[in-house]
Structure 1
Amino acid sequence: MIWFAVLLAALLAAGFFWLQSSVSQNGPAVLDRIDRLTGGNSNIERAARVSYGPHPAQTVAVYRDPAASGPQPVILFVHGGGWHAGSPDDYGFAARNLAKEGFVVVLSGYRLYPDARFPAMLEDTADALQWTSENVTRYGGDADRIYLAGHSAGAYNAVMLALDPQWLEARGLSPDRIAGAIGIAGPYDFLPFDTDSTRNSFGEADNPEATQPIAFARGDAPPLLLMTGTEDTVVEPRNTKALAEAMEDAGGAVTTAYFEGMDHNRIIMALASPFSRDRRVLDAFGRFADETAAARTPEPSVPVQDPRP
């Protein structure tokens, strides 16, 4: 029986590494299929899928638990893919598992290279936020508690939108519309442009420094949660460290989470069944939402007694 246990362990390990390779090559669509088979989230519904602009990539999809009561916090989740690949349709696993945790989740698409370059990804994410702000209450979401989130390139979009207010202001939205931003393995300080994806999407920017989230660290920004895996070699953890230090120096609110043993793929796999049994990433979402909600709630006033007899 010992040989059988060893063989089974070897097969499981080989399968895990195969899956990581498949996620890297074939995208999150692989995770979505596995999550559908193993997740047990059949009660989570996709309540809407609509276009917020004329381009085919400009879509949002709303996921919710129809049994949930009361307005729920909202996560506007932006997909990764190096600004040249990816689709929100492949991230149902993230929406279903986050909806199970008590969120209304809006998956957002945006124009990709070669159809678009900087700042199109930010303009589109701002448009998706505007749509969410105006419509999410119809699906049980709380429009006063909208969190931007994303993985990899999507984390860039989410965090940049939270730090540079011009994209919201151009649409008549206050930066206060964002309750917080959650970056998963995001690039925040990536000058010079030394990869094909960064050269393609940012290489023609008039002011390269103005494309970097770290350049907009400020004390009055929405709270940030920056998560990364210690073994990430695609978007190195130094991005999280650098932005967190810049935010702290500016007096801003920032929380970091470094997950031992996770790489660029494993951290997003943690939002899909069966890998979500490692709850470190899901729990970080919940804690951040609870902590920021508490910070935004004013202390009840205490009546002042008249000292006069």
Structure 2
Amino acid sequence: MPLLAGCSGVEVINALTPAGQTQAFDSIAYGELPRQRLDIYRPQGADGHAPVVVFLYGGTWREGERQDYRFVGRALASRGIVTVVADYRLYPEVRYPDFVEDSARVLAWSHRHIDQYGGDPHRLFVMGHSAGAYNAAMVALDPRWLAAQSLSPDILAGWIGLAGPYDFLPITNEDARPVFDWPHTSSDTQPINHVSDRSPPALLMASHRDTTVNPIRNTAGMARALRAHGVAVTEDYADRTSHVTLIASLAWPLRWLGPVLDDIDTFVHDTPPRTNTGADNAQ
């Protein structure tokens, strides 16, 4: 779903979310293709010890632009977090699993290069909203995607899902069906089927008012699955938000909707660094 259902709303919340004491680095390539680009937002004075969040936006894997989410980068950077906001390829240019592969490439690039921007690669998190939360969950839970980058999910200190679809078969969303080749969609596409004892800690957030992605089946269900494997998980619901305003509440004018930014801040800063940084055989 497009953020706030129109560019004018995005422009307003971006304009009203101050950059403050942050710096931005725009249009950095993490791959060779046009949509394989990312922006970095960092707190001024970041010295290599700052935690890092890689953010992946939603849009039913059909739409979205990283520039629409400047407010996310600025909000997190204002809390001392180096933030990567990335584009990835979309339908109909690609179908599953290409956007998951792009997400793994973003994480691999961040793991290997974010120290140049003041971030600590041992304090690396992946975060997504809606379809982006699906991407985040897949790279955090299913080792094959980072394995293609000579890495593993052990590089992650944790992952953050906002209103994510983690268990959505049979596919009822008409826009999502061709993305996943419905009705031939394999259960292997579902993040909930990749939870294991080695999964990184998670912060899962949703709204009880969400009519787009069922929070009981998806957020609560994922939380149960993680806990059943002994994985630390924080589960929060922001009752005044909708599916879209859950992420929009990071913008300065909408923070009254709920403590979403505060909860992310607390999770990121309170989660210990990952001690096992995963295989990295790249030269």
Tell whether the structures are fold-level matches, with TM greater than 0.5: yes
Q: Distance in 1 between matches of 2:47 and 2:226?
A: 36
**Distance between the aligned counterparts of 1:157 and 1:212, measured in 2?**
10
Residue 70 of structure 2 corresponds to residue 92 of structure 1? yes
Give the SS at the match of 1:274.
helix
Alignment match, 1:181: 159
Partner AA of 2:245 in structure 1: R
Aligned partner of 1:162 among 108, 118, 140: 140
AA aligned to 1:280 is P
1:200 corresponds to which residue? 178
Q: 1:258 Cα deviation (Å)? A: 1.0
Deviation string, structure 1 residues 57-111 (Cα, Å, up to 9, x no partner): 1111111122344520000000110000001111101000110011000011111
AA partner of residue 5 (structure 2): Q
Assess if the C-alpha contact under 8 Å between 1:185 and 1:237 holds in 2. Answer: yes
* Partner residue, 1:303: none
Please, which of 119, 122, 147 is the counterpart of residue 97 of structure 2? 119
Return the alpha-carbon distance in structure 2 between the equivalents of residues 101 and 92 of structure 1: 15
The 3-state SS of whatever aligns with 1:133 is helix
Counterparts of 1:37 and 1:90, CA distance in 2? 11
**Structure 1 counterpart of 2:197:** 219
Q: CA RMSD for the aligned pairs?
A: 2.2
The question of whether the paired residues in 1 share the 8 Å contact of 2:162 and 2:206 is answered with: yes
User: Larger Cα Rg: Structure 1 or Structure 2?
Assistant: 1
Q: In the alignment, which residue of structure 2 is the partner of 1:26?
A: 6
**Matched residues, percent identical?**
40
TM-score, length of structure 1 as denominator length: 0.83
Matched, 1:257 2:198: no
- Residues 1-309 of structure 1: pairs in structure 2 closer than 5 A: 23-26=3-6, 30-31=9-10, 33-203=11-181, 208-238=186-216, 239-278=218-257, 280-293=259-272
User: Secondary structure of 1:196's match?
Assistant: coil
Between Structure 1 and Structure 2, how many residues are aligned?
Answer: 275
After superposition, the C-alpha distances for 1:183-217 in whole angstroms (9 at most, x for unaligned) are: 00100000012222321111269652000011111
Runs of 5+ in structure 1 lacking a partner?
1-20, 298-309
Give the residue type in structure 1 aligned to 2:234: T
Report deviation, 1:242.
0.9
SS of 1:137's equivalent? helix
Task: Quote the Cα distance in structure 2 between the aligned partners of 1:44 and 1:134.
Answer: 22
Q: Which has the higher contact order (CA 8 A, sep 6+)?
A: 2
Paired residue secondary structure (1:197): coil
Counterpart-to-counterpart distance in 1, 2:209 and 2:134: 19
1:277 Cα deviation (Å)?
4.4
Q: Judge conservation of contact 2:56–2:85 (CA < 8 Å) in 1.
A: yes
The answer (yes or no) to whether the contact 1:221–1:253 under 8 Å persists in 2 is: no
- Partner amino acid, structure 2, of 1:186: G
Deviations 1:249-277 (A, max 9, x none): 22222211111121101211111121124
- The alignment partner of 1:242 has SS state of helix
TM-score normalized with structure 2 length: 0.90
- Checking the alignment, whether the CA contact within 8 Å between 1:110 and 1:124 is kept in structure 2 is yes
